[in-house]
Structure 1
């Protein structure tokens, strides 16, 4: 099982999912309830709150409870919590026990995503949240998306997304063509930043149905795929599609191509469950509802092909004898780099604050 990288930001929900209804999600084995405060009036949206999803009294799920203003009232015995997780009221007595509080998690809402910090709250730095600005830039991009839970180790989803050669075989007739598997790729790894970049540029490729129907291009295409994986959670695929031979201008402008940003947030729920947040953003056909419906439904079919494959793979791996061996080749370079980074982040998150890999306080020699 891929070890959890704690002391990291993870996507918990789309901003549109969090409102005045209590939303329960399990992230890195921690049950969390999310809701939005009432706001300041004039229709202004409130801020997102994340609390441990268990009442301190008898462990009743707070996500199955109710809101009273900005306070959560446990649906079992009425223990009431404010936005900091402090219990402010208990039934049958005026004195609230000093230890009656639940964990409040740091939260950032950015680029239409709700990020939650799992780990030491003193280390939460909201400037470290990776960006996906196209998700919120409605003037330049139109976005569709969704979320699918997968019954697999989250590391399997990371492997899947960093090796797009599987498009040829698993997604043929949707987004896959022979050129995806046949074209060599380049891989760059920034170990310190925890970023893996994988690029595959196809200058003469068949146009798969996903792009033929949305762009209207007939014939063969130039198709570029440039991946950025920001460990542990955010995956960005910058996709460029143009008629064969059409390249960007020398000044970098690219008016004769179609651009699609594919975004995945890979959030571990438990050791064998992962939330697969996905979104498709385009810079053409802006506001075209028929195109949006097509891209949403078509891409969800692609996502579900991955879901089915990874569910099967997880079951298969669990039936394998201990010590089974994998065989890796060039197409696995990005995925193997991501595994190294995730292992390092998990190991760092398991140390006490200020400790180093050697077990000495930071700065000690």
Structure 2
């Protein structure tokens, strides 16, 4: 199983979650508190007062972007510096909580947990469809009581759609169709593609697009470990293929006659044994149809919860095996090549991080 790599950007929240109310969230075993300053910028601080470890998220935000601890009144500015303590004028030099680099992009709030000197905002992968004109997006968040690697494996191998998500997004053809896997070492991206020429149209698409017959279905994954997963999903009437040179993700302007959804997941470790599962689905069809939006939200949330239940169970099994000191020889097959490649890239990131310490 893979480990938590700290010197990376992780999604901590959706932009709409962060306002003038204090938001608590644990990222990579670090309790953090988020809020939006008066100028609109997002602030991330350690969620523990330096005095007696009281959660700052259970405190209050006052005018001037300062948090007043709800236990003894220690007050912190947006940089994490303590600017007031009770019953004395002198503020101890060490009185501050950690602050963390934050970037707001593509509807996500990204945070850097590791060493600040390596926090390059230009390295954050993009998901522009989530806020792009001509697309409509639904989104949600579930926290899985299972390690990051389990969710990563789940998303990199979509053959499980046939069995776990039958009746929603899965059909027999998904598991029956071989995949191609490509690793872009320079970009740090794993690509997994499954192009199905003739498939049953699952309810997720039939009820949102109006397609009733057989379809041509493409699934093109791009995963930038450790956090951002993008699935370019294309469905069209059977036999309808995109123009030559079509790039997955280009949408209807480059591929008229097909229906495109951009399915985005952010995999953010909460702890070593739990992971935040941020999910979003953007579409370029029926963009103003609220019934389609409601249907896709309900359907995708159901699919996500099926994953949550399954991965919680797997984590329980693994934890029990680890508790009793058992050994398990994992068996991988062709459908696992994407997941194995992603694990390898994360191991490389971990080695690079270790070499810097």
The answer on 1:108 being equivalent to 2:108 is: no
Match of 2:193 among 199, 205, 208: 199
Shift, 1:251, TM fit: 6.5
Shift, 1:191, TM fit: 2.6
Match of 1:125 among 114, 117, 120: 120
User: Partner of 1:345 in structure 2?
Assistant: 349
The answer on 1:238 being equivalent to 2:232 is: yes
Q: Using a 3 Å threshold, how does the CA distance of structure 1 residues 292 and 196 change in structure 2: closer, same or farther? A: same
- Name the Cα RMSD after superposition: 1.0
Shift, 1:254, TM fit: 1.0
Q: Distance in 2 between matches of 1:268 and 1:249?
A: 39
User: Partner of 1:8 in structure 2?
Assistant: 8
Shift, 1:26, TM fit: 0.6
User: Partner of 1:166 in structure 2?
Assistant: 160
Q: Distance in 2 between matches of 1:308 and 1:124?
A: 34
Shift, 1:347, TM fit: 2.5
Shift, 1:322, TM fit: 2.8
Instruction: Provide Cα deviations, 1:31-54, integer angstroms capped at 9, x if missing partner.
Output: 110000012xxxxxx000000000
User: Partner of 2:340 in structure 1?
Assistant: 336
Q: Is contact 1:6–1:345 with CA below 8 Å preserved after alignment?
A: no
Q: Is contact 1:5–1:347 with CA below 8 Å preserved after alignment?
A: no
Is there any run of 5+ residues in structure 2 with no aligned partner, and where? 247-253
SS at match of 1:286: coil
User: Partner of 1:189 in structure 2?
Assistant: 183
Residue correspondences, number: 346
SS at match of 1:165: helix
Instruction: Provide Cα deviations, 1:271-293, integer angstroms capped at 9, x if missing partner.
Output: 11100000010000112111111
TM-score, normalisation: structure 1: 0.93
Q: Distance in 1 between matches of 2:76 and 2:186?
A: 40
Shift, 1:126, TM fit: 0.5
TM-score, normalisation: structure 2: 0.95
Match of 1:90 among 85, 99, 104: 85
Match of 2:206 among 204, 208, 212: 212
Shift, 1:136, TM fit: 1.1
